[in-house]
Amino acid sequence: MNLLTISSLYVDFPTDDGLVRAVNGVDLSIKMNEVLGLIGESGCGKSVLGLSVMRLLQEDVILKGEILYCGKNLYSIEEDAMRKLRGKEIGVILQNPGSSLNPGLTVGSQIAEPIMLHKKVKGSLAIEMAEKLLGLVKIKEPRKRAKNYPHQFSGGMKERAVIAMGIASEPRFIIADEPTKGLDITVKRKIVRLLRDISEKNTMLIITHDLEVAEKVCNRVAVMYAGELVEIAPAALIFKNPLHPYTRGFFNSLPARGLKPIKGSSPSLIDPPKGCRFHPRCSYCSDRCKTEHPLMLEKNGRTVRCFLYA
Ligand SMILES: Nc1ncnc2c1ncn2[C@@H]1O[C@H](COP(=O)(O)OP(=O)(O)OP(=O)(O)O)[C@@H](O)[C@H]1O
Ligand code: NI
């Protein structure tokens, strides 16, 4: 059964220069207990897609399509009901832990807050649970550390505290946006292990640049380019055998795989290329790719948007 079903999602931002088409016709579903990784280069629309699911986009955004959570249309419920869902059922671990934590409150009380709100328990019990959570995310001396303010935490500890906040209300579904961004390699490894533990009991959407996160934590990976999905595949297959020329180029451009950049740069989302959006940068480009927009096609268990496989 699908926990989340996104159908024909379009998200446009009106700006002075024109409409920024950040998400363009995305269809994506996440099954119960599945961990889906969303990858792609900077600016391709990953965070906007995540924010759409949480209904956290700015008000003047133009959104079309449907997002069903447990069969419920997230855009037809009241803001109040949505707020309850967020935090209680849908846990959020956002990019940039610095801004997710309030500098004026102790870390423990910030983790305790969603617990009090959603579990309806008293402050003292919620603090106790927050301390347990800090232990769970492998922060040493959690009772003492719960009394610390964010500035007393290192970058890696802050990220772990944000993760603890995200899982505090025992949500069924967790959305994590770049949970390992800016962390050094040893801290990152620890966070990857932590995410893997959490993923065993939860359904997750993990937005990441980091192939190690995608490879070690996710069951399935969706690749996004210029507002569109271009490939979806089981994690075990996509890293061994990426199909879409963009997926291949993206993998080769990353430090772990040779740092060979894809020629050209990512296109404008105000006036994206006609035909296949990747065609100006693709070494397999044919005439058809310049005029005709390829659809996502499923074949032999692989889904890809490219005429090479049509
Ligand atoms: N509020 C906004 N107004 C106008 N454009 C926006 C707004 N928010 C995002 N965008 C644009 O939408 C596109 C997608 O942005 P998004 O943040 O989803 O990218 P991303 O894939 O998450 O990138 P990164 O990996 O750098 O986080 C970008 O081109 C961005 O400039
Ligand atoms: Ni982002």
Asked whether residue 294 is domain-assigned, the answer is: yes
Question: Quick check: is 109 in a domain?
Answer: no
Is residue 127, in this structure, part of any structural domain at all? no
Percent of the chain at pLDDT > 90 equals: 75
- Whether ligand 1 lies within 6 angstroms of the CB of 45 is answered as yes
Does residue 95 carry a pLDDT above 70? no
Give the three-class secondary structure for 253: helix
Give the chain's radius of gyration (CA, Å): 20
pLDDT-derived band at 114, boundaries 50, 70, 90: confident
Residue 111 has pLDDT above 90, yes or no: yes
CATH code of 224's domain: 3.40.50.300
> What pLDDT, on the 0 to 100 scale, is given for residue 117?
84
Residue 95, domain member (yes or no): no
Cβ(15) to ligand 1 under 6 A? yes
- Which position has the higher pLDDT, 79 or 257? 79
Distance 55 CA to ligand 1 centre (A): 15
DSSP class of residue 252 equals H
Tell me: ipTM over 0.90. yes
* Domain, as residue range, for 250: 1-77+218-301
pLDDT, tens digit (0-9, with 9 covering 90-100), for 175-221: 999 988 877 888 888 889 989 999 998 999 999 988 889 999 999 99
What is the pLDDT averaged over residues 153-168? 90
d(CA 244, CA 246): 5
Beta strands across the sheet bearing 18-31: 18-31, 2-15, 62-69, 72-73
Beta bridge mates, 302: 299
Residue 179 domain flag: no
Number of domains in the chain: 1
